[in-house]
Structure 1
Amino acid sequence: MQACETQLQHLKEILQNFTISSGLRVNYHKSCLVPINVYQGKANTLANVFGCLVGSFPFTYLGLPMGLTKPQVKDYAPLISRIERRLSASSQFLSYAGRLQLVNSVLSSLPTYYMCSLKLPVTVVEIIDKHRKKCLWRGSDFRKKGYTLAAWELVRRPKEKGGLGVINLSVQNDALLLKQLDKLYRKENIQWVKLIWQKHYPDGVPHIRRERGSFWWKDILRLHIQYRGVAYCIPGKGDTVSFWDDLLNGSVHSQKYPHLLNFAKEPRISFQKMRDAEPLLSSFRIPMTRQAYNEFLELQTELLQMHPANSDVNDCWQFIWGNQNYSSSKYYRYQYASLNPP
């Protein structure tokens, strides 16, 4: 919220009314006010409204590192420390089968909360993998060197593909973050989804526009290639799908009409804008070659045969596994679908 004393007083009044109605009291002494681009004197004045301390970035909120910049490797130290404690406390008493169960059920699950919201740095994934390898092959004796019974890539394969079923954290991280991207493309009734559409993409498709927003959102948006690799769109409004680059009616227009694409005035255009163009020819540069014109006539016929636009219905994204609902577990299994057991 804005650094305004009046707004803070109204917020404090709301919290006091909440205390009266629910009996739950806010402990301001355990709270802090974190200013952004506010000089120290004013920050102290605003903090006095609540009687709390003045904090600074980075800080931890609900167990996640929060800051104005992307979290560094050192910000994940609490997560790595928890994994190390579990490793040293349990693995020395277990057999190979028991250590495999520990890796799958505990060590691989500890980063899940982080991976649902943040893209883990490669270095953090490598550190976690190092500890998982130690637990599986060495137990509690870290002095053993080079003692492995199978390659790590084979170990991370699903059991039905000849592996041990240890979770691939990088793939799992993408699978969990794609849930957030799915909410955006479906325009779900969530405040952060509305904010991103209104602020960054009021008139364009996210994956064909320049990257905008925070590091958190950029990390998620960069997964659009993976998302569009397992999903296809049935247009409603047509404002979340690219006309040329996305799969529509079983084909990609940039591949179906390659000569016509060379004469497009706006190669990065949404399906909505192309469909509503009047006349359609105004979206292309003329004169054009005979091949391009023939493709234009085919495109014109295709658009006329499509269902009329419905400005009240959002685009419907469906997945290649035959479901309208995104599933991180199905996405994870799909990444290994082409592998054959050794």
Structure 2
Amino acid sequence: MLFTLVIDVLNSMLLRAVDLVLLHRLTARQAASSISLYADDVVIFCHPDSHEISTVRKLLPVFGLASELHTNFTKCSATPIQCTDDHIATIASEMQCPVAHFPITYLGLPLSIRKASTTSLQPINDKLGRKLSTWRASMLSKGDRLSLVRHVLCAIPTHFLTAIAFKSTAIKKVNQIIRGFLWAGSK
């Protein structure tokens, strides 16, 4: 919660930069934000314009001085979304951090500018399989298995579903894995 309170200052700084016309809104919607937060990961969205990228690059050290949360640009990456080669060159020179290209994996989610294919969703099945390999379903009561299904196995696909629309075949495969664990070989 403390991180959320502190990181809200960064969001306020970005919104103030928009008010001062140092940054431009990405959309016309009033509530549109240019920042996304998850745990200690921060994603800042901006236009691939040298002025805007430079502004973001200058705001981060100011935020670091105020909060003691300094940005390590060697661990950061810039990921252009449908940008030209000129934009990519500008981003690389202004941000001075590695440039990643789509598709990428962020927080375990395969991100792409196209709809996710069934094969790109295979990591979900693999993750569920790894979780199940450490549990011995037959040694757990039905109530214990149900609790694990509800609180762990269903949380993994839910995390993915917050960002990606699954195809029906992928959902069926996930359900098959979960049902197989819950019933532990019983018909």
> TM-score, length-normalised on structure 2?
0.65
CA separation of 1:101/1:44 partners in 2, compared to 1, >3 Å: closer, same or farther?
same
Residue 67 of structure 1 deviates from its aligned partner by 1.7
* Matching of residue 59 in structure 1 with residue 104 in structure 2: yes
Paired residue for 1:33?
A: 78
State the SS of the aligned residue for 2:74: helix
Q: Aligned partners of 2:147 and 2:112: how far apart in 1?
A: 35
- Identify the match of residue 178 of structure 2 among 128, 132, 137: 132
- Pick from 20, 44, 47 the counterpart of residue 89 of structure 2: 44
CA, structure 1 residues 106+41, in 2 after alignment: closer, same or farther (shift >3 Å)? same
2:116–2:166 Cα contact (<8 Å) kept: no
Alpha-carbon separation, structure 2, partners of 1:10 and 1:29: 19
Larger radius of gyration: 1
Q: Does 1:74 align with 2:106?
A: no
Q: Distance in 2 between matches of 1:116 and 1:38?
A: 25
| Secondary structure at the counterpart of residue 110 of structure 1 | helix
Contact map agreement 1:8 1:46 (CA 8 A) in 2 = yes
Give the Cα–Cα distance (whole angstroms) in 2 for the partners of residues 39 and 117 of structure 1: 25
Deviations 1:185-224 (CA, angstroms, capped at 9, x unpaired): xxxxxxxxxxxxxxxxxxxxxxxxxxxxxxxxxxxxxxxx
Q: 152, 161, 181: which one pairs with 1:115? A: 161
Whether contact under 8 Å (1:87, 1:131) holds in the other structure is: no
Aligned length: 141
Is 2:102–2:112's contact at 8 Å kept on the other side of the alignment?
Answer: yes
Deviations 1:158-186 (A, max 9, x none): xxxxxxxxxxxxxxxxxxxxxxxxxxxxx
Could you tell me whether the CA contact under 8 Å between 2:74 and 2:97 is conserved in 1? yes
* Structure 2 residue aligned with 1:96: 142
Q: CA RMSD in A?
A: 2.2
What is the deviation of 1:13? 0.9
Deviations 1:17-55 (A, max 9, x none): 111111111111122222234343551342122211111
Provide Cα deviations, 1:247-266, integer angstroms capped at 9, x if missing partner. Answer: xxxxxxxxxxxxxxxxxxxx
Can you give the 5+ residue segments of structure 1 that lack an aligned partner in the other structure? 140-146, 149-342
- CA 1:80–1:36 in structure 2 vs 1: closer, same or farther (change >3 Å)? same
**In the alignment, structure 1 residue 86 sits paired with structure 2 residue 120:** no
Structure 2: segments with no counterpart, 5+ residues: 1-45
What percentage of residue pairs aligned between the two structures are identical?
28
The separation in 2 between residues aligned to 1:97 and 1:19, in whole angstroms, is 48
What is the alpha-carbon distance in structure 2 between the residues aligned to residue 109 and residue 10 of structure 1? 38
Deviation, structure 1 residue 9: 1.0
